[in-house]
Structures are given as structure tokens and as C-alpha cells.
Structure 1
Amino acid sequence: MGMEKSSRDYEEVLGVIGRFGRYQRIYIAIAYPLAITQAMIFLCNAILTDGMPEHYCNADETTKFAITEICNRTGTNISDCFMDACERGNYSLEQYISRYECAVPLSNQSITNTTSKCNGIPSIKCSSWEYYGSVFDSTVTMEFDLVCDSAWKYQLASLSLMGGLLFGSLIFGKVSDRFGRKPSFLLASVVLVISEFTSTFLQSYAFYCALQLVTGAAFVGVATVGFISVMENVSVKHRVIFAQMSQITFSLSSILLALFGFLIQDWRIVGRATSIIAVPFVIAFIIFIFESPRWLYANGNVRGGDEIVKKIAKWNSTQEKLQEFLQRHDMTLLESAETKADDLPGRKLTASIRDIFVHKTLLKFTCILLYNWFVSTCVFYGLSFSAGLLGGNVFMNIFFTGLVEIPGYVLSAILMPTWGRRPVCTLMHILSAVSLICMTFASDSYWLSLVLFLAGKLGVSGAFSSIYLYTTELYPTPLRGIGVGLCSGVSRTGGLTAIAIIMLRSISPTLPYAIFGVLAFLAAMLVCCLPETKVDGFPDTIAECKALDEQRKIHVPSFC
């Protein structure tokens, strides 16, 4: 159990150099605004660039005059010629072809080369459209004419973005464990800004979708690696509050994006603005933020860890305290770190995802965490996609969708330091499960359904934030990035599953909520099989993980 001692020593050193000194305050002042701008970049692609606006066929003045004359002669309603309903309630003359088979004639085309199926009016399919009725001045649908025959392309960008999230989750966790937290985070940040800024100038939808894949991968990289880095740079005392602050940045980005969208209403300009705003924070991160000392020590880079700790002590004006501490304990940072490195069977060059599946304790942790991440993502996005219950303006929907998450994060932050991670995660899942299951019996009352809906969103938001922190505290340091990345990657299938579940509304409007509720209840029960990490979390070795699991006070079924 030598590793247990060295871990406590690191916390002691952190206390000496300053648990929340000048360096930590600068860290927060840079990292959290950067996280907000990065989330805005992602949400801009996920929300403001979507939408299927109403539209009608665009034609030159000569063609419009010809249509008017022919429709007048045949007794056809002129308004139908220019603004007929298209599939999914949008407007296009192309649908007029299929319904009335009367559309735009070519002024320079003979009758023999066109169809004549509506009172003798020749017609061809539309090639360009006019858009109206949208709160946005410009969306991806408008820019690339993703309507009528091209309507099937509409979801390709969203699928590319979600695919990027899955790809990035699996890649950046491994990269951060192998090459470090800071270089991995900076790589993802730079790629995110460049891909988003570049995508706003593209005129090809295929290239735009390709960059959406890159943007999604980069965003999940900054989210995953950034969260791990924050957790490794703060003490146990401050870990809960900073974990919840990390989650709140996503909610704040939704609120700010609603304001940006309302004021600008052009997806290209919003994308460029959020990208440019992020640049100063990325530069500040490069200059002022150091590599994680915990990661350096855990991977045997003793000299690098010593240098970073001394720099932090200098920023916090605690150099003398650090020196006194080392002399009083008759030890050096070198000895402490070497103890860590010698006690760790898998170092930087050997730690891999295989280690997670060959050790029984880590395998159990991973299976339970994977299901919890899947359910949290599925329910979270499922309720977000069902936000039509709120009604009203689209910007207000974005605003309230973000706002309702904050109480869940705050409640988790208040309860976790005293109750612990496991009971809070369980409680939040149960709150979400009960609320959503009860919605199946409240379909006749709009306001009751709305209250239960918001309670379910609050519960899953709190569960999501607690399971995020819980995961980082269960995996050992050399495997932390891989473990969190794996959970985050698998969880992305939950977003796709949520779409499929919502489609079951055609059977019963309340059936999706019942399914979400059952999934959340099972997740709550499985959490009971995990050990509490409030005091002894953040292990540095697999041996510490096993010892942590043996201390579990709740012994349910034997497989736990």
C-alpha cells in the first residue's frame, strides 16, 4: 500500500503550495470562459445551423409572368403556383408537381420537352428556392438548398457531428494519457477553432459535413481532457464545486448562444464570432497554464513534475513553505514521485485500454459506468429533443433548456461533499426516473406534464454531472483519460438511441418517457455496486482501485 501513502503526500504538497492560490484562480479565469466559448461553437453547429424553413420555388420574372398568365387561363389558384405545401409542412413548387402536377414552365423550352399534366400547363422541377418564415436570416438548409429532392441530406451534418463525438472520445482520452493533458487539450482547442471558422466559408455541403466530423471530435476532446485536467489540478476539497462548474459552462453556453442567435441570426457570423472569441483564451492557456503535475508523477516524469510544482509555488508565493515542508518530512519531491512510478505496473508507454478489461475490478467499474453514461446521454438528449413541450420562440427554448440544467448541477454540488458521489448519483437518477414514468399518467394535464418534464431534465442533468466526476475518481491516473474517453465515446450511442425512442411517440405520446424512466431507474440500481469515492477517490494505481472496491459498504448482488 505504498501507493496510498504517496497519493496522500501529493495532496499534502498541494496544500502547502496552495489549494486555491493565485495560480488556481488564473487557471479558472482562463479555462472556464474558454470552455463556454468552445461549447458555443459546438451548439452553434448543433442548433443554429439546423432547421427546415418554409420555402417556395424561385423563378425569374419572365417565368413568374408566364405562370400567372397560364394559371389565370386554366382557373388555377395563382397562390398555389408560387407557394404550395412541400413535404413536412414546408413550401416548394416541386411538391406542387406531385400534388397538382403544375409547376414552373421554362420560357425557352418547348411544350414537347416538358410535362403537361395539370390543365395543360407544362412543368419542370424547381432548381432554386426562396425561404421565408424563419427566425434565422441564414441556416445551412438555406445556404445549401437542402429541400425537396435534397432533403435527405439534411441530417448528414448532424450525423457527422455525432460521429465526430464518438471518434474524438475514443482518440483524445488515449492521446491525453500518453502525451499529456496540456498538449492534448491545446491540440483539440486549435483544431476546434480552425475547423469551425473554416466551415463558415465553405460553399460545398460535402466539405462542410467533413468538417463537422472534425469539429465534433475536437469538441469532445476539449471537453474530456479539459475536465480531467481541472480535476487533477485541484484538491479533494474543491473537486466537487469545480466539477459542477465545468458542467454549468455548457448550460451558460446555451443561454449565451440564445442571445447571440437572437441578435445575429446568421449561422456563419455566429460561428465566426464564437471562434474568434475563443482565440485569446487559447493563447492565454498556452502561456499561463502548466501540465498536470499528477499526470507527470504518475507517468514517471519526476523532473517535469518537480518543475511544475515549483512554478505553482512561485505563482502562489509559497516557495518557502514548500521548502520547509520537504525538509520537515526529510523527503524530496523526487523520492515521492519515484515511489509512485515504482508502484505503478503500467507506465505511460504500457497503459492501454486492454488494462481496463483484464482486471476484474476495472471491468466491473467500466461496465456499470458505460451503462450510466449511455443512459444519462440518452435521457438528456431525449428530453432536449422533446423540448417542444416548452413551446414559444426557438431562442427562448434554447434559453430555458440550458437554464433548467443549472439547478441540477447546483443541487449535486451541494449534496456530493456531504452525502458522497454514489448516493447523489442514485438520487438524481431516481428523480429523473420517477418524474418521467409519472408523465405517462399525466398526459391530460399540460402543466403537470411540463413540471414533470422539467423535473426529469433536472434529475438527469444532476446525474450526468455526478457520474462525470465519479468516473474520474474511480479510474487510476494512467488510465483516467482512456476510461473517461471510452465512457464518453460509448455514451454517444445514447444520443442516437434517444432519436429512435422518440419515434415511438407514433405508438403512444408518453411511451418514450416511460422507456427513459425505466432506463434511469436501472442505472440508479447499478450505481449501488460502485464504491464511494468522496474520501479515497482518484487512485493512482490499479491496486488502489481494488482496495477502494473492497471498502464498499453496500454489498448487493454477488456480481458486484
Structure 2
Amino acid sequence: MDLEDAFQVVGEFGRYQKRAVTLLVLTQVYMACQSMLMVLVGSTPEYRVEPQDDTSSQHVTFTEDVDSIVTEWLLVKQQAYKVSLAGSLFFAGLLVGNVVFGPLSDKVGRRPVYLTGLFFEVVFGYVTALAPNYEVFAASRLLVGLMNGGIGLVCFVLTQEYVGKSYWAMTGTLTSMTFAVGIALFGALGYFIRPWRSLVSVANSSGVVFFLLSVNLPESPRWLFCQGHTERAEQVLRYMALRNGNAADSLRLQPVQAAKAGNHDNRRAGVLQLVLHPVLRLRTVVLMYVWAGRRRSMASFLCLAGSACLCTMFIPENTESLLNVTSLALVGKLMVSAAFNIAYVYTSELYPTVVRNAGLGVCSMSCRVGGILAPFVPSMRALHTSMPFTVFCVSGFSAGCLSLLLPETLNTPAAETLEELSSTHSRVLESKAVLYEDKKKKFNHR
């Protein structure tokens, strides 16, 4: 049987998969705490500068009882940029981690990359808590971001590849939701734990728990299968079936697919295939611009976001009615967030298992670059007050239109190897007449 049939026997989302996915999803809480760390650790309280008697030096006095890296290392005035620099280093590491860890997990496996990345993120997290000076602190944030960006993608892909394809949307949504919950929980944690070193230590300690619980997680059966390790994939699937309470002693995967998985193209599969393979090249270019959701959801959500931004250009900013610039901007943000929530799910469905993490890494990199450029858009108000909303409007509509170039993935099996991409058609723009002719030829052939 093929993998999708095997998951029907094993259980697409049985008891064991629920426990494994829950563990991986809860790991997002730890990752969210690391992402938001600088918001509280880099807090700058009110202060005043007093000149010293008979000297040219100045004494900084903080008027608020706040313990942060600012108060410990006096990161004010000319040194204030170091707070933002530490935050930027984390996100720089996040960007590099997306690109490096994705292809690496496609080559050596999901499990070793995930466990190694999580282990070192915890280690570097404690280096952050014990940093003797700013330089060590900043370097540790860069390394934590590197690990965080990498294992975030691998963790997400594991939640997908442990379950049947019909549950990918649910597990992907849970991952995004839990990350948002982690941000809120970190804010509450910062309210009760004020010393910044204690806050970092407590937030990082949850990573130790998640690492210890993750040691027994198996390798992705989908990755094993596409790499030609058919027997190991069968062992993992039987193990899942046993834990789910299902009988799968006679489970055997198709040897033909395993042979295909071991061919020359799949051994070369990597980030370069995103450029060299014609199907992957088109999908990667479109997704890097769009980075949104499934075909239909993508078009609707992004066009609604563009419409909301378009309407803001015709409403006075000082209006106090319910329909104002702020409410419409929030509607646009809601639509963008809805589309982005589906982004990981749709991207993982479009890329075959052999390059799934590489594709996610490259698309995520484009998203990070967009985040870097986005703060410059409001400065366009100097040209015209409606210019920022015009840019967002055009971006939303154009992304929705470009999404029509991508195929539908609903109720279709996930591709495991590069060869299976050639059989994936059904674009939105593909005419019904062509589909009818294809069916007619098949019928006449029979």
C-alpha cells in the first residue's frame, strides 16, 4: 500500500499521534517566549542624567524599579542602540536558521535536526541568562535565534508528517494558535517575575522539559519512506498502530515507490531543486511573493485584505463612527493573519517530502525580508497620506491573483518524491474544456 492507505490502517490521528502532536505543539510556547524575550528583558525605564561634581562624567539614575539589561549595563543615550541590536541579532539568526535547517532536515532527517536544535537552543538560552556582559548576551541571542528559526520549521513539519493528510490543516492551525498563546503567557510570566535573569531562566527551563519528552519521538515515516528506508518507515507505522490500538502486523509499503525514492533525482533533492525543477521553480516564486494559504482561501483572504486597505483611503482619519480607518485596518490585519495562518499548511502540501523543509525555509525567508521592509511603508505618507494603504492594497490584490497559478491540494494525496509532481495539475486557470477533453481521451482509450 502507499502511505495514505497505510495511515488509514494505522490511524490518521490516533491516540499516539495526538500525544506526539500535543508535545510538538506545546513546544511553540517555549519558542514564543524566546521570540518575545527582548520585549521585557530590554525594557527601558524612566531615568535622569545628573552631572558629577568637578568632573565631566555623568551619573544615570533610574526613576522606576525595573530590572533589565538596560539598568544593569546602562544601555541609555549613546548606548541605547544596543537594545535594538540584540533584538535584530535574534531575528537575523531566525532568518539564517530558516534557510539552513530546512534543507538539512530534508537531507539527514527531521528527528536529529529537531533534537539537536532544541538542545542547543536551551544551552544558549542559559548562556543568555548567565551572560557576564552585553557582548556575550548579544552573541547568545544570535545563536538562540539561529536554533529557534530552524527547529520551528522542523517542528511544524513533524506535526504534519506524523498524521494523515486530512489532519494537516488542523495540526498546522494548532501550531500557529499555540505560538500566539505562548506570547500571551510570556507576558503574564514577566508580570510575576521581574528580575530579567530569573525571567530568562524560568522561560528557558520549559525547553528542558520539552527536550526530555521529545527524545522518544520517532523519525517521520514520510521522510523515511521518500528516502528509500521502507523497512524503517514500516516499523514506525507499526509502532504508531500498536499505540493506537490497531492491528498492522501485515502492513507493507509499496516497494516501487521506495525504488523511485532512491533514484538520482531524489538523492540530489535539496534547496537547488527549488530553482532547477520547473514545477518547484514556479511554485517557489509565487509562494515567495504570496506566502499565504490554500488556493481558494489565499485569494479570498488576501483580496478582502486589499479591499479593506482600499476603503481606508476614502474615509477621513478623524471620523468617530464605527466605520473608520482603524477598524478597517484591523479587518485587513485579520484577513492577512488568516491567510498567513494557512501559509505553512499550504506550502507543506505543495512541496514533496524530499524538499518540504527546504521549501518552507525559503518561503519563510522571504517573509522575514518582507517584515524588514514593511516598517518603511508608513514613511510613504510623505508622498501622500493614502500611499501606505495603496501599497498594502496592491500587495493584497496581486497576491490573490498570483495564487491562481498554484494547484488545489484539497482531497489530493501529498507528494513524496519529485516524480509525483509531474502528475499534479488542476490549476484554477485550467479550463473545463481541457479537463473534458482529457476525460474524453481516457474514455475512448478504454
Give 1:250 deviation, angstroms.
1.5
1:273 aligned to which of 169, 189, 202:
202
Give 1:225 deviation, angstroms.
0.5
2:346 aligned to which of 470, 477, 486:
470
Q: Distance in 2 between matches of 1:555 and 1:223?
A: 35
Gaps of 5+ in 2: 432-446
Aligned counterpart, 1:61: none
> Contact conserved, 2:353 with 2:416, CA < 8 A, in 1?
yes
Q: Distance in 2 between matches of 1:296 and 1:171?
A: 20
2:178 aligned to which of 249, 252, 263:
249
Aligned counterpart, 2:305: 432
Instruction: Tell me the secondary structure at the aligned position of residue 66 of structure 2.
Output: coil
Aligned counterpart, 1:169: 98
Give 1:262 deviation, angstroms.
2.1
Q: Distance in 1 between matches of 2:264 and 2:133?
A: 46
Q: Distance in 2 between matches of 1:513 and 1:269?
A: 42
> Contact conserved, 2:23 with 2:210, CA < 8 A, in 1?
yes
1:457 aligned to which of 333, 344, 363:
333
In the TM superposition, 1:165-244 aligns within 5 A as 165-244=94-173
Paired amino acid for 1:54: E
Instruction: Tell me the secondary structure at the aligned position of residue 416 of structure 2.
Output: coil
Aligned counterpart, 1:12: 5
Q: Distance in 1 between matches of 2:393 and 2:44?
A: 31
Q: 1:520 to 1:30 in 2, by over 3 A?
A: same
Paired amino acid for 1:323: D
Paired amino acid for 2:319: S
Q: Distance in 2 between matches of 1:341 and 1:131?
A: 68
Give 1:138 deviation, angstroms.
2.3
Name which one, 1 or 2, has greater alpha-carbon Rg.
1
Instruction: Tell me the secondary structure at the aligned position of residue 56 of structure 1.
Output: strand
> Contact conserved, 2:10 with 2:244, CA < 8 A, in 1?
yes
How many residues align? The count is 428
TM-score by length of 1: 0.72
1:551 aligned to which of 426, 430, 439:
426
- 1:298 to 2:226 alignment: yes
- 1:367 to 2:285 alignment: yes
Give 1:352 deviation, angstroms.
1.9
> Contact conserved, 2:228 with 2:261, CA < 8 A, in 1?
no
TM-score by length of 2: 0.89
Give 1:234 deviation, angstroms.
1.2
Q: 1:519 to 1:267 in 2, by over 3 A?
A: farther
Q: 1:261 to 1:453 in 2, by over 3 A?
A: farther
> Contact conserved, 1:344 with 1:541, CA < 8 A, in 2?
no
Q: Distance in 2 between matches of 1:441 and 1:143?
A: 49
Aligned counterpart, 2:249: 323
Instruction: Tell me the secondary structure at the aligned position of residue 353 of structure 1.
Output: coil
Gaps of 5+ in 1: 1-5, 58-81, 83-102, 110-123, 327-331, 377-411, 413-420
Give 1:508 deviation, angstroms.
5.5
1:48 aligned to which of 18, 22, 40:
40
| 1:448-469 per-position Cα deviation (integer Å, ceiling 9, x unaligned) | 2332232122111111121211
Worse-matched range after superposition: 514-523 or 191-200: 514-523
- 1:104 to 2:52 alignment: yes
Among the aligned pairs, what percent are the same residue? 27
Q: 1:510 to 1:212 in 2, by over 3 A?
A: farther
| 1:373-394 per-position Cα deviation (integer Å, ceiling 9, x unaligned) | 3xx6xxxxxxxxxxxxxxxxxx
| 1:101-152 per-position Cα deviation (integer Å, ceiling 9, x unaligned) | xx4333xx5xxxxxxxxxxxxxx242x422235xx82233323222112123
Aligned counterpart, 1:34: 27
Q: Distance in 2 between matches of 1:533 and 1:266?
A: 49
Q: Distance in 2 between matches of 1:221 and 1:268?
A: 25
> Contact conserved, 2:98 with 2:362, CA < 8 A, in 1?
yes
> Contact conserved, 1:39 with 1:219, CA < 8 A, in 2?
no
Paired amino acid for 2:318: D
1:423 aligned to which of 296, 303, 306:
296
Aligned counterpart, 1:481: 357
- 1:515 to 2:391 alignment: yes
Paired amino acid for 1:554: L
Aligned counterpart, 2:87: 158
Q: Distance in 1 between matches of 2:413 and 2:70?
A: 47
Q: 1:38 to 1:536 in 2, by over 3 A?
A: same
Instruction: Tell me the secondary structure at the aligned position of residue 130 of structure 2.
Output: coil
Q: Distance in 1 between matches of 2:368 and 2:423?
A: 31
Aligned counterpart, 1:445: 319
Aligned counterpart, 1:86: none
In the TM superposition, 1:305-344 aligns within 5 A as 305-319=233-247, 322-323=248-249, 326=251, 332-333=252-253, 336-342=254-260
Q: Distance in 2 between matches of 1:350 and 1:426?
A: 34
Instruction: Tell me the secondary structure at the aligned position of residue 337 of structure 2.
Output: helix
> Contact conserved, 1:168 with 1:221, CA < 8 A, in 2?
yes
Give 1:432 deviation, angstroms.
1.9
Instruction: Tell me the secondary structure at the aligned position of residue 130 of structure 1.
Output: strand
> Contact conserved, 2:265 with 2:418, CA < 8 A, in 1?
no
Paired amino acid for 1:145: L
Give 1:12 deviation, angstroms.
1.2
Q: 1:506 to 1:40 in 2, by over 3 A?
A: farther
2:71 aligned to which of 119, 126, 142:
142
Paired amino acid for 2:244: N
Aligned counterpart, 1:85: none
Give 1:537 deviation, angstroms.
4.9
Q: 1:520 to 1:282 in 2, by over 3 A?
A: same
Q: Distance in 2 between matches of 1:297 and 1:194?
A: 33
Q: 1:125 to 1:292 in 2, by over 3 A?
A: same
